[in-house]
Amino acid sequence: MRISIFTVLDHHPGRARSMAELYAQVTAQARLAEALGYHAFYVAEHHFHEYGACPNPAVLLASLAPQTTRIRLGTAIAALAFRNPVEVAESYALVDVLSGGRLELGLGSGYLAHEFAGFNIDPAEKRERFDENLYVLTRLLAGEKVSFQGRWNRLSNVQINVAPVQHPVPIAVATLRPEGAYDIGAKGHNMLCVPYASVGRFEEIQGLIAQHHKGLRKKERKDFVGATGVTLHTYVAATDAEARAEAAEAFDLYVATRLYARRQTYDDVIASGLALFGSVETVAEKMLQLADWGVDHVIALADFGLLPFDRVERSMRLFAEEVLPRVQQRLTA
């Protein structure tokens, strides 16, 4: 099973941590994730609100490339409906080169009303925009000279002048809708999902995975390794009680800034099971259940709501050095 790290870069103006300090912490977290052997480090794209303080992940990932050497660098997600796909192809091809071929490109259409308003885009158009932009983007990243006449894109013999190292660049499509999992698979795409925002209980993750795999089988894809990345808030401590004492306030602050999202407290998410909070034993058991459902890539949202970095570091260490080895041992027994 692979484990990765994800950060939304939630910013809380007026509180102790400045934006510059946030970026410094994210850089330190990426270095730590590499030192601990995590598979990838993902960042989110958000605009116009402290919901997330990374309006252009390509810039941030380019800054992380020389700070790291092995860990893969990804987006979760880059909001393709807001962007010109030619510019997206150029930017992320450059990230792939600067990182020596370590890019993981997670893409989505966006879902926050204020972001569509800020870009003056009708949310009703987002799916069509995304599909058209994805078609153009994948052809450009493949090195093609593209001529295309669509609703939003008109290209005549356009070819990007920076070729990515990877052929093809790994692309995954994100969904917040359970029914979207099948559609993503049926188009042959890998998938990223955030169950906290998609389903009501931990057990329902099984259905998300099953639908994605069903779609992949329709596409006659046989290799499902790494096909579905499942993102869960994660905090590992010595005991369940210690995890609650150290992470509950931070999680509740994080949720309070989530625009349009289901309002859940730490206790609510413990009841629903849609987080990896607790002792090494508790988290390992949940990881084993995910593995039983076909999940082989878990992406930990390990920093949230001004959680002090020493706690983030301790939790990340326990997850990588204590939880994962127990899981791997049980899976290979």
Q: Which of 174, 207, 232 is the last residue of a domain?
A: 174
pLDDT digits (tens, 9 = 90+) for 213-269: 999 999 999 889 999 999 999 999 999 999 999 999 999 999 988 776 677 899 999
Report the CATH number at residue 186. 3.20.20.30
pLDDT digits (tens, 9 = 90+) for 98-129: 999 999 999 999 999 999 999 999 999 999 99
Same domain, 327 and 226: yes
122, two tokens: 């009708």
Same domain, 123 and 253: no
Q: Is the pLDDT of residue 182 over 90?
A: yes
Is residue 31 a part of any domain in this protein? no
Return the higher-pLDDT residue of 111 and 91. Answer: 91
Q: Is the pLDDT of residue 16 over 90?
A: no
Whether 122 and 149 have beta carbons less than 8 Å apart is answered as no
Number of domains in the chain: 2
Same domain, 206 and 257: yes
Quote the CA–CA distance of 232 and 7 in Å, as a whole number: 11
Q: What pLDDT is stored for residue 82 in this prediction?
A: 97
Same domain, 333 and 216: yes
Is residue 312 a part of any domain in this protein? yes
102, two tokens: 């370590």
- Give the residue numbers spanning the domain of 164: 39-174
Please report the sign of the dihedral spanned by the C-alpha atoms of residue 161, residue 142, residue 55, residue 6: negative
Alpha carbon separation from 224 to 160, 219, 296, 329 (Å, rounded): 30, 12, 9, 21
pLDDT digits (tens, 9 = 90+) for 255-308: 988 776 677 899 999 999 999 999 999 999 999 999 999 999 999 999 999 999
Same domain, 225 and 110: no
Is residue 21 a part of any domain in this protein? no
pLDDT band per the 50, 70, 90 thresholds, residue 167? very high
Q: What pLDDT is stored for residue 197 in this prediction?
A: 87
Q: What pLDDT is stored for residue 259 in this prediction?
A: 75
Share of the chain above pLDDT 90, in %: 92
Is residue 45 a part of any domain in this protein? yes
Same domain, 130 and 192: no
For 300, phi then psi, to 5°, come to -90, 120
Q: Is the pLDDT of residue 152 over 70?
A: yes
Q: What pLDDT is stored for residue 14 in this prediction?
A: 84
Is residue 275 a part of any domain in this protein? yes
pLDDT band per the 50, 70, 90 thresholds, residue 50? confident
Of 55-59, 179-183, 276-280, 282-286, give the lowest mean pLDDT range: 179-183
Is residue 150 a part of any domain in this protein? yes
| Pairing status of strand 297-301 against strand 276-279 | unpaired
Beta bridge partners of 173: 107, 191
| Pairing status of strand 154-158 against strand 276-279 | unpaired
Whether 141 and 169 have beta carbons less than 8 Å apart is answered as yes
Is residue 243 a part of any domain in this protein? yes
pLDDT band per the 50, 70, 90 thresholds, residue 168? very high
Same domain, 93 and 240: no
H or E, element range at 30? helix 19-35
On the 0-12 / 13-18 / 19+ scale of CB atoms within 10 A, 240 is middle
Is residue 33 a part of any domain in this protein? no
